Amino acid sequence: MNQFRFSRRPDIGDKVRVSFEFFPPKSDEMEARLWDTVTRLEPLKPKFVSVTYGAGGSTRERTARTVKRILNETTLTPAAHMTCVDAARHEVDAVIQEFAGMGVTRFVALRGDPAEGVGASYRPHPDGYANGAELVGAMKGAGDFDISVSAYPEKHPESPDFATDFDMLKRKADNGATRAITQFFFDNDLYERYVERARRAGIYIPIVPGILPVHNFTQVANFSARCGALVPAWLAERFEGLQNDPQTHALVASAVAAEQVLDLVERGVGDFHFYTMNRADLVFAVCHMIGIRSHEAEAAGSAAA
């Protein structure tokens, strides 16, 4: 991949749209960091920003509080993540209504992982929605919402094969999902192949790549192993020896994420979802490189020209 190829494309920013994912903060300190991040990323005018939902609804109140604050204090459009783990249908329906009552029009609908964590075996609540597809159906019945769902370019770890995965994704699309957002990945060929196979399986909703800038390679490598995402040898090699050198780590991480995104743009991808980890810097830098800039930055650029 030759990065200089990309620098001849000053028009890229016109074609690219982004969304950002946050998680609800657990402490005052984390809350302050989240709001610094939101404030820094808001001028980039993302299509929406999503707020995750903890296992078994454990963050329900914090998710709702974060979504409410985004609605009340920013110009951003929030999307509330929801899962159906350990909840009866009427409880999930009540949460959908609670969000709708606040003015939420976008959701990210997920089955979720068992409260014991990724890898533990999933048992649906006896009166609950069994999977993401059933949850999408419930949301669609409750209102005219924009609904994102998950997709797994490297297969969901519980799924016996890709056919089972595509069957589930098709059910989610047929039940009214607007788009799918992928689990993060580092090999763009895998994503491209996945999208081609989805189209052949009759799935036509947009499949938006989820991009994870690598804030901490060791943590990402551990998490990837649990959720079935491959960490290519070349990626490990780029971060080798940088555990105690945060500045170089950040520079390398921003180069890696920009390279990935620019290559996807070259392949015709126009929408990106960033897993921000509630940190702005890497995402802001990558957005800058793909031409997504705040009006202030544009104005400063034209004044200097």
> Which residues contact ligand FAD by CB under 6 A?
52-53, 55, 81, 83, 108, 110-113, 122, 131-132, 150, 156, 158-159, 164-165, 168, 181, 183, 210
Q: Give me the sign of the Cα torsion angle 41, 139, 131, 56.
A: positive
Query: Are the CB atoms for 264 and 24 separated by under 8 Å?
Result: no
| 3 vs 164 by CB, closer to ligand FAD | 164
| 78 vs 132 by CB, closer to ligand FAD | 132
Rounded to an integer, what is the distance from CA 282 to the centroid of its chain? 15
- Tokens standing for residue 69: 């604050």
What is the DSSP secondary structure assignment for residue 43, as one 8-state letter?
A: G
Q: Cβ of residue 183: shortest distance to ligand FAD, in angstroms?
A: 4
Whole-angstrom Cα distance, residue 67 to residue 202?
34
| 55 vs 100 by CB, closer to ligand FAD | 55
| 158 vs 174 by CB, closer to ligand FAD | 158
Q: Cβ of residue 203: shortest distance to ligand FAD, in angstroms?
A: 11
Residues paired with 151 in a beta bridge: 182
| 67 vs 292 by CB, closer to ligand FAD | 67
| 167 vs 281 by CB, closer to ligand FAD | 167
Backbone phi, psi, residue 257, to 5°:
-65, -40
Of these residues, 21, 42, 134, 154, which one is catalytic? 21
Whole-angstrom Cα distance, residue 48 to residue 65?
17
Q: Cβ of residue 96: shortest distance to ligand FAD, in angstroms?
A: 15
Q: Cβ of residue 109: shortest distance to ligand FAD, in angstroms?
A: 7
The reply to whether 21 belongs to the active site is yes
Strands, E, within the chain: which ranges?
A: 17-22, 49-51, 78-83, 106-110, 146-151, 179-182, 207-208, 210-211, 271-275
- Expressed in angstroms, the distance from the first to the final Cα of the chain is 31
| Cα distances (Å, whole numbers) of residue 105 to 87, 143, 192 | 22, 9, 30
Rounded to an integer, what is the distance from CA 86 to the centroid of its chain? 23
Q: Cβ of residue 80: shortest distance to ligand FAD, in angstroms?
A: 9
| Residue partners of 126: CB distance under 8 A and separation at least 6 | none
Q: Cβ of residue 79: shortest distance to ligand FAD, in angstroms?
A: 10
Q: Which residues belong to the active site?
A: 21
